A and B are shown apart, each in its own frame.
Chain A
Amino acid sequence: MSGLTFRLNTYPDERLDLSPLIPSRLATLPLADILDLVVGTTKRQLKVSDFFAVSGQSGDTVTIQGGSEHLDFVGAGLDRGTLILDGDAGAYAGRKMTGGELHIRGRAGAWLGSGLSGGLITVKGSAGDQVGSMCPGDKFGMTGGIVHVEGSIGDRVGEKMRRGTIIARGTAGTHAGSRMLGGTIWAEQGFGPGPGTLLRRGTLIGPAVEQMLPTFADSGKHDLVILRVLSRYLSATLGPLAPSPLSGRAHKFAGDLAAIGKGEILIVS
């Protein structure tokens, strides 16, 4: 595994846009050009060299050592290879990713994986609001790929999400899957109030819901083969990160009947 390492040696006093630091964009750049890349977001036009010490050679992997909530757009636009952030990430990590793997070994801010269409994002800690959601101006939220958060995730996860899978080993906040069009959100410790607001299609899975919307209909307890398929898919894709396999038994609530009602909240034990 060859690659470049960016060691954060100065705490950023402004928000940084680290979207240039992905393997495909760095592949053909000489070190001098890499150090000259602008990552600042103010008129000061601060460069990579103002914050990072760079070592190694261009390859399939980029490692960023040291994190901060000011590091925005980490892995944004990642299309291949692996990006490892050894610390916390700011907002928009993995935005519009189409492939490859982004591993955040700390916490992630808001809009993690927004517009994600392919690839894998893992977060060692918790994640902020709007994970996998649409940003203002986007037509959809996530349209593919997998987001795996070891901790909990904030509010409105998967807003207008169309495809893909989001897994939180902890809880999901309020209004998870609002206006969702498809895909799967699995919160292993359960959902906050009002999941599935205006849910059209898609699946929310968890052991409990803090407050179910009245526009979800109790469809009864069932043995759903698709949950077994989902578990085996995640086991094959995520290996040891995969959640405990589901038996298939689930209490189904169909909704949101205030929309077209083809979505579902599955309460599993």
Chain B
Amino acid sequence: MKANGITIDDTFAEAFGMSATGVIVTADSPKWARQAAVTMSGFGTSVIGCGVEVGIDRELEPDETPDGRPGVRVLLFGFSPDALLPQLKNRVGQCVLTSPGSACYAGVESKTRIALGAGPRFFGDGYQTAKLLGKKKYWRVPVMDGEFVIEETTGVVTEAVGGGNVILLGNDRAGLLEATELAVAAIGKVPDVITPFPGGIVRSGSKVGAKYDGMIASTNDAFCPTLRGAVKSELAPDTVSVLEIVIDGLTSQAVANAMKTAIDTIIKEGWGKGVTRISAGNYGGKLGQHHYHLRELLP
């Protein structure tokens, strides 16, 4: 298939069921809300190596947050609610509690709840107090710039999806990166999804396994331009760079929406920037429960 000069592979992205939770981080200014959110999202690219995949869903206007201050919604994806729990506790405790003027609230609403403030409240050393408003309980932890307010629990969902992806190939390395950044920015407007890798972009796509014992994943040699000719390459002679956008979403539909948005953006903006081809990563369809066929996502 071709659209606006760009080849679209007749393939699909293969994604996996995951559990997810989220928080809303607020602060006195958008700058400091974002700072706390970015800090708690650090080292949260791949569930394999980081234990959890974390990213910013979107920035929130003051009228969207529980305390009427600027906020950011952060989503976390893991293998199970139990796996999310220590990650959430550590990241909130070390990165949000410590950030000036911050407060932290539930970012996902569901019947199933996991602890949010139940751990960090003990930082108050007995001086913390609780406030129950309706069905929500908030902890007020005294800190050196006032009080850290944190909700007792947040919601967790087990129907989330991790590993939706789009692979972009180009004949201009700088242009491809520029086009991919545009696609990531467009995904930023899609609700309930994150792109957990640096700036939303992966340059080191992997294949399953390796020649070395103990390595569960290694470089995707078929998509490495510098190996063309030396391996069974998937790349055309003019391809000099390949970048991937990995997408996690609270629902399968959210992931599909994000992939469609990325593809739309690349088809509109990509050709002039050197994008030659759009593809997707899969494992033959045998590992992941969710398949997103590119032809079904075309505009």
Residues on A close to B: CB < 8 A? 144, 163-165, 182-184, 201, 203, 222-226, 228-233, 237, 245, 262
Q: Which of B66, B68, B130, B138 lies in contact with A182, CB distance below 8 A?
A: B130
- Residues of chain A with a CB closer than 8 A to B146's CB: 222-225
Does B34 interact with chain A (Cβ within 8 Å)?
no
- Residues of chain B with a CB closer than 8 A to A224's CB: 146-147
Tell me which residues from 126 to 172 in chain B have a Cβ below 8 Å from any Cβ of chain A.
129-134, 136, 138, 140, 146-147, 149
Q: Given that A233-B134, A237-B134 are known contacts, is A225 also in contact with B129, CB under 8 Å in the complex?
A: no
B25 CB, nearest partner CB in chain A, Å? 12
- Residues of chain B with a CB closer than 8 A to A226's CB: 131, 138, 140, 147, 149
A-B contact count (CB 8 A): 49
The answer on a CB contact under 8 Å between A225 and B103 is yes
Q: Given that A224-B147, A228-B69, A229-B67 are known contacts, is A163 also in contact with B129, CB under 8 Å in the complex?
A: no
Q: Which of A163, A222, A237, A245 lies in contact with B132, CB distance below 8 A?
A: A163
- Residues of chain A with a CB closer than 8 A to B132's CB: 144, 163-164, 182-183
Task: Kindly state the separation between the CA atoms of A183 and B147 in the bound complex, as whole angstroms.
Answer: 18
B interface residue count range (under 10 / 10 to 19 / 20 to 34 / 35 or more):
10 to 19
Task: Kindly state the separation between the CA atoms of A223 and B149 in the bound complex, as whole angstroms.
Answer: 12
Residues on B close to A: CB < 8 A? 26, 66-69, 103, 129-134, 136, 138, 140, 146-147, 149
The answer on a CB contact under 8 Å between B129 and A230 is no
Q: Which of B69, B131, B147 lies in contact with A203, CB distance below 8 A?
A: B131
Q: Closest A-chain residue to B67, C-beta based?
A: A228
- Residues of chain A with a CB closer than 8 A to B138's CB: 226, 229
* A contact face: mostly helix, strand, loop, or mixed: mixed
Q: Given that A226-B138, A232-B67 are known contacts, is A201 also in contact with B149, CB under 8 Å in the complex?
A: no
The answer on a CB contact under 8 Å between A225 and B133 is no
Q: Closest B-chain residue to A146, C-beta based?
A: B134
Task: Kindly state the separation between the CA atoms of A222 and B147 in the bound complex, as whole angstroms.
Answer: 9
The answer on a CB contact under 8 Å between B68 and A201 is no
The answer on a CB contact under 8 Å between A230 and B131 is yes
Task: Kindly state the separation between the CA atoms of A246 and B69 in the bound complex, as whole angstroms.
Answer: 13
Beyond A222-B146, A225-B26, list 14 extra A-B contacts (CB 8 Å).
A164-B132, A183-B132, A201-B129, A222-B147, A224-B147, A225-B146, A225-B149, A226-B131, A229-B133, A230-B133, A232-B68, A233-B66, A233-B136, A245-B68
Task: Kindly state the separation between the CA atoms of A230 and B68 in the bound complex, as whole angstroms.
Answer: 11
- Residues of chain B with a CB closer than 8 A to A163's CB: 132
Q: Which of A222, A229, A262 lies in contact with B129, CB distance below 8 A?
A: A262
Interface centre among A163, A223, A224, A228 (most CB of B within 10 A): A228
Q: Closest A-chain residue to B132, C-beta based?
A: A163
- Residues of chain B with a CB closer than 8 A to A165's CB: 133
- Residues of chain A with a CB closer than 8 A to B26's CB: 225
- Residues of chain B with a CB closer than 8 A to A225's CB: 26, 67, 69, 103, 146-147, 149
Which 9 A/B pairs are nearest by Cβ-Cβ distance?
Answer: A228-B67, A233-B133, A225-B149, A229-B67, A228-B68, A163-B132, A225-B103, A225-B67, A229-B66
The answer on a CB contact under 8 Å between A184 and B131 is yes
Task: Kindly state the separation between the CA atoms of A163 and B146 in the bound complex, as whole angstroms.
Answer: 24
- Residues of chain B with a CB closer than 8 A to A231's CB: 68
A-B contact pairs, 11 of them (CB 8 A): A164-B132, A165-B133, A225-B69, A226-B131, A226-B138, A226-B149, A232-B67, A232-B68, A233-B134, A233-B136, A237-B134
Task: Kindly state the separation between the CA atoms of A95 and B138 in the bound complex, as whole angstroms.
Answer: 27
Interface centre among B67, B138, B146 (most CB of A within 10 A): B67
